[in-house]
């Protein structure tokens, strides 16, 4: 994903949430052998009041478009 961001001049920050749960992590715990990635707009705070910047939403949309139109989807 970072390559797509760099190629498309999409602003990004890489972050790791070691205790975050997702459908992908549930599938892996269930024994499925799947490749996965999560991406989305950065947020500040994570319960009751989430805040994000509109530019983060735009960058997420750009990344999604770049991903689904890339040769990674072939």
**Whether residue 53 has pLDDT greater than 80:** yes
Query: Rounded to whole angstroms, how far apart are CA atoms 56 and 60?
Result: 6
Q: Do residues 67 and 73 lie in contact, with contact meaning Cβ atoms separated by under 8 Å? A: yes
Query: Rounded to whole angstroms, how far apart are CA atoms 19 and 70?
Result: 30
Q: Please give the pLDDT value at position 71.
A: 86
Q: Please give the pLDDT value at position 31.
A: 95
Domain count, the chain: 1
Averaged pLDDT for residues 46-60: 81
Q: Please give the pLDDT value at position 2.
A: 81
Q: Please give the pLDDT value at position 61.
A: 95
Tokens of 72: 């990674």
Between residues 69 and 51, the one the model is more confident about: 69
* Residue span of the structural domain in which 40 resides: 2-73
């Amino acid at each position: 994903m970072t390559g797509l961001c760099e190629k498309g001049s999409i602003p990004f920050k890489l972050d790791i949430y070691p205790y975050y749960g997702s459908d992908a992590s549930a599938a892996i715990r269930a024994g499925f052998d799947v490749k996965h990635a999560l991406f989305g707009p950065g947020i500040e705070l994570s319960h009751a009041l989430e805040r994000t910047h509109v530019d983060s939403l735009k960058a997420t949309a750009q990344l999604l478009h770049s991903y689904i139109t890339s040769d990674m989807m072939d």
